[in-house]
Each structure stands twice: as structure tokens, then as C-alpha cells.
Amino acid sequence: MTRTVITAPFDPRIAADLPGEVVTASEAETGQSLGARAAADPGFAAVLAEADVVIAELDRIDDAALAAAPRLTLVVACRANPANVDLAACAARGVEVRTTPGRNADVTADFTLALLLATVRHVPAASAWLREGHWSGDDVFEPYARFRGIGLSGRRLGVVGGGAVGRRVVRRAQGFGMRIAVYDPFLPPGALGDDVEHLGLDELLASSDIVTLHVPLTPETTGLIGARELALLRPDAYLVNAGRAALVDHDALLDVLREQRIAGAGFDVFDHEPLASDDELLRLPNVTLTPHIAGASDDVVVEHSRLAAAAVASFFDTKVNS
């Protein structure tokens, strides 16, 4: 009988349907090595020593973890990029690694539109102003003038990256009546429908009312939006990033925002997290900030549980039929 050890947050109904024995030990997932956790907890060490499968989200699967799990044959990382797994160490021991791609694509696309709307309609600033007691009978129309924003219908949304999240953002934005342009050199024209334009990056930046970033972080995309690219944005344009902070040159971005060379921006990701209390971004009035919560949804747990269970089933089915 196989034993699956789950340290990731996991849907109990899906866990119950996994083959063999299932041990859930997710209450203390801290991002530490499972080897270190085993060394500190004899009970967990005994469980891990008999594990054939480990499903983890934050906990690290490194040499120490592999040494503590000599029977291990499969690791499922509940994320698209298995950054918590030492792939070379797993390969050296013959341990297969699978992931749960697209687990948070829908909720991240939802959040992107929420952040976009909050930014262009000044929702956080208006809420803070109201809570501070500024609205009075002396001028009931003051907030109408102070927090006037733009509508989305007819505006051009420039989507940088047409992958799992980008595609979903496109569909949601179309529901608002937006005109959509996409930059993705790996997508052929028409891949997202006849009413989606495919543009080069420079043309997209220069012609969009709002630009949102959804490309994976690679050596090629790090700093993709630098000083030259930011200078292409129109003075009335907005930039939204709920993807990867390092896609944008931080210093160049601060210059643009500080000098108000664009209308505003919304960010859920930052070069250094958590943000320091003296970070300049916190003092800029034209920026909407959220603390890296685009994927913070119970629905993500359900989805990565489903994808992980499918990966486990596929792995053992392949072994049986090979």
C-alpha cells in the first residue's frame, strides 16, 4: 500500500479519494525543509520515512528531506513553479516531480480586474477619505470631484503575456466592453479570438489605456519593463502588476510614479516583501497597493488539491501500464 504525506493545505474530500494511506500534516507548513522538520519531530520522521508520495506547497524538498524519505518516488509541488523542490537532488534519487499549473489562474485574473478597477476608480483612497470623516454636509459633492476616475468600456487594455492568467484576464475584460491588445511572442495571431489584437510590446505600451503584466519570470523577462518601456506609456495610462515584481525595473518605475508621468498604478507584488514601513511606494498618492494576495483564495486550495490528486493518479497509472 502506498503512503501519501500531505503538508500543503488540501481539500479533505479530495484527500480521502487518494489511493492508499494518506497522512495529512499541513497544520505546520512553514517553508522549512521537511528534513529539518523530521529531525525535530520523531513522529513526523516516522511518517516521512514510509512516504511514497509527498504533496507540499511551501515546505522544501531538499537533500535532507529526501534522506529522511528513502521510499519516496513522487513529489507534487502545489504550485506552477516547483521553487520549493531541489530538482537536481530529486533527479539524482529517481524521484519524479510534478506540479499544479494554473491552480490560481482564475482567482488571479479576478483579482487583476479588482486591482485594476480599484486603481482607475480610486477605491482605496475614497474609502480611506470617507473613514477619516471628511465627507460632510457642507459639500456633499466633494468626493464626486475628488475621486473621479475612468470607465472601462471602450478603453484599450494591453495584456502582456497570453498564458493561463492573461487569457482569463482577456475574457473578463471583454465583459467590460474593453478593446484588448496582447503582447506574447509565443502566441500566433488569432489564438485568443479575432477581436484580440496581437501587437509588439512597444506598440502595446504606447497605445493602451491600461497595461497589465502576466508573463512568467525568466532571465529573459526580468526587467522586461524598464525605463525605455515605461517612457512609452501615455500620461493618462495606468500600469497594473499582480504577476511578478521583477518584470519591472523598480528604480525606473519609482521615477515614473514620483514624477507622475503616468496616471497611476496598482501593484500586488514587490521587489522586497513585505514592504518596509518607509518604502516610498507607500507615500505615493497615485498607487494602489495590496500585500501579494492575488492568489489568496480557498478556491486555490480546492483547485491545487484536484490537480495534485490527478498528478498522483496519473503517476501510478503510468507505472502500472509501463
pTM comes to 0.88
Q: Are 43 and 94 found together in one domain?
A: yes
Q: Are 233 and 268 found together in one domain?
A: yes
Identify the pLDDT of residue 319.
64
| pLDDT tens for each residue of 246-272 | 999 999 999 999 999 999 999 999 999
Q: Are 17 and 165 found together in one domain?
A: no
Identify the pLDDT of residue 321.
55
Q: Are 197 and 49 found together in one domain?
A: no
What is the extent of the structural domain holding 87?
3-103+298-321
Task: Identify the CA nearest to 165 among candidates 118, 211, 216.
Answer: 216
**Domain CATH code at residue 175:** 3.40.50.720
50 C-beta neighbours (distance < 10 Å), count: 16
| pLDDT tens for each residue of 73-91 | 999 999 988 999 999 999 9
Number of domains in the chain: 2
Which residues, given as ranges, of the chain have pLDDT below 70? 27-29, 319-322
Q: Which cell numbers hold the place of 222?
A: 526580468
Identify the pLDDT of residue 224.
98
Question: Which residues are identified as catalytic?
Answer: 244, 273, 292
Residues contacting residue 147 through CB under 8 Å, at least 6 positions apart: 121, 122, 125, 126, 129
Residues contacting residue 218 through CB under 8 Å, at least 6 positions apart: none
